[in-house]
Chain A
Amino acid sequence: MTSLPFLPLVVPLLIGISLLLIQSLGLKHQRFVSLMGAVALVWISIESLFVSLTGEPQVFILGNWAAPFGIVLVLDQLSAMMVLITSLLAMSAIWYAISQKIDNKGAHFHTLFHIQLFGLNGAFLTGDVFNLFVFFEVLLLASYGLILHGGGRLRTKAGLHYVVINLIGSTLFLFAVGALYGILGTLNIADMAVKIAELPVEDYGIVSAAGLLLLLVFGLKAAMFPLYLWLPQAYANAPAPVAALFAIMTKVGLYAIIRVHGTLFGSTAGDLAYFYMPWLLILGLITLLLAALGVLAARGLREQIAYLVLTSVATLLIGIGLNSPAALSASLYYLIHSTLIAGGFFLLADMIAQGRGIYDDRFESSKPIFKGILLGSFFIFAAIAMTGLPPLSGFFGKFLILAAALEHDWFAIIMATMLISSLFMIIAVAKSGSQLFYQTQIHQKPEGNLFSKKAFLAVVLLLGISPVLVILANPISAFTDSTTLQLLDKIQYIDTVLNTLPIERVQP
């Protein structure tokens, strides 16, 4: 089973390439292959998750060169969890794109989508900082194509900002990686952690500067204050299935913080241990407040959901910044919830916007929409889950994080910020819900697009995960607890990565 970490990478890559090859056969065949690829990816991810549960991280040595000289892929519980979330999101998004025929509004939608999955899974599985950079570039380049899919002025403008800011981010990433390489002489995450543990004191300055520069880059991806301004417009203007997939993009940044900073500057790092944590906490609190104000100020539903995504990122930053095992475990639970629900919410928002016709998703009185009651009920459901009201999974996630915050020195500030911002979010979402569904021009006939049952399936699938997360809260939090234990056990990670030997060549 040692080849398993390889599969989530190679399957989307091959599907993406083969989609190009069968382009001449027409969109119908491409759709079939694309969907089958996404389903296969879900299956592989579930399989990987079960393998990762057996304990030790699975290490795959590319080209049979042992770490730290070769490049490794590492599959542990966190990676497996992220890959599974990505594949679930991707399957629903592709299903939605096919049933709403969004994929024929421009060329190569499915190819770009699978290359993006390749980049995402690569970022989650790599054990090497430079490869993390390369996979970031792969997923970004695919996302540039996807965000512009279908065209339109607003999309081009938001896309231009998105591309420029991410290119600057890439440059900073290279500066940070270069500085770390210059001091540590290695790029393998496990090996870097070993080198940092025995770092002479005079090198602390440059290594911590490089570490903070990396935090800046990951913070840019995760949309942390003050680097979040690109996110709302980019997400609000992206095509719905792309926006749904982008719900995982901010989490890539968070994952990279947990993985890279957690390993490099973890408990083994001496005086540098956890030096970045106060930054995460403070910036997370500021992001949360500003994002909650953004939710209040949003002019359209998609923009509002983009800000809601931002609040979930901020909550996660706070959860990670609390720097306790309980908080990290709670954050992972909240991460599963917020990613999938945000994805489902983006798809739902698109269905509502389609139903409203020319009024799109703007908060103003419109003609009634087809199946308004059904869509409205799902809107309430998604809003409850997203803002963190009981009884859905958002409440559990926030509750767990707040419970973990009780032991922190600043618990009063954290409590106040999180609860006040939640109140803002609830007010804003309640207002937008009543504007979208109650203040309709009641005597008019609906004139938007017809309700599509097929497309709605994707929304139901993603939002349906929220009750599942509640019902299975115990096993899932047991899983996040064991993931946290694995994450905090640096020695096991480092030993497994560095001691995995190449396979002996069979002598003829």
Chain B
Amino acid sequence: MGAAPAPRDVTSYGMGLAAPLALFFLVFFVAPLLQLLWLSLHNDTAGLHWGLGQYLHFLTDPFSLGVLGSTLLLGAEVTAVCLVLGFPIAWLYQRVGPKLQTVIILIVLLPLLTSVVVRTFAWIVILGRQGIINATLQSLGIIDTPLKLLYTQFGVVIALAQVQMPLMTLPLITALGRIDPNLDDASCSLGAGSWRTFFRIVLPLSLPGVIAGCTLTYAAAITAFITQSLIGGGQMLFMPMYLYQQASTLQNWPFAAAISIIFLLAVLAVVSVFTTLGRLSRGYGGA
């Protein structure tokens, strides 16, 4: 105990502590995905004949391409609705006192933690033939026969938008909280109106939050298969249900694997586009 020990960094921990989780992920996350990729590159169910048959099948089949297209479109529509509705919530949050702020956060947070099946069930009650919307419109004499709201694109988009709204709103609240309120005042005192200030100052500066929110919302909306299948019904098919049908009902694992890989790549492509935009916007916002 003579010499002082060599100065050691006591503020950080060794990477060894990450080893158990890294190993767990390697075995139960990375390996399964590689196995999925491996099987998707085979033309037969037994996995004996290599080939791109599954991908060719998907990419030349108008039905499959249609499912992919409508899934990507659905994600875009839900994200747009969430952004338009979520941004004003984040804006309002910055303008109220701390008590109301907590109330707003809890309202936004609750659906995130409530079971997705429960939230989707609520929309069945609201959109159904005897649901609130139809009952109200009928009692007001606006319509005679119930509107078809369930099993429509409109129904799926509105239900998904509600289900995913927290994922958009929380990053927006964070982003708006980081904007210096003086900028707002400065812009207004220099003669810019509120609308102009919003579109020229607040919106650009909140872009990192917008992009983070859009990424999360989009990824969640296109994979939310409970809401898609219950509100969309049998006629509307999106990628997750397509994957599930092929894997489970038809036991066509190689094709289901190819669908999964194509779906994974589509999600990754969208996420990386958003991430790139985010990096660019941070440079813009920081300037």
Q: Do A and B bind each other?
A: no
On A, residues with C-beta under 8 Å from B are: none
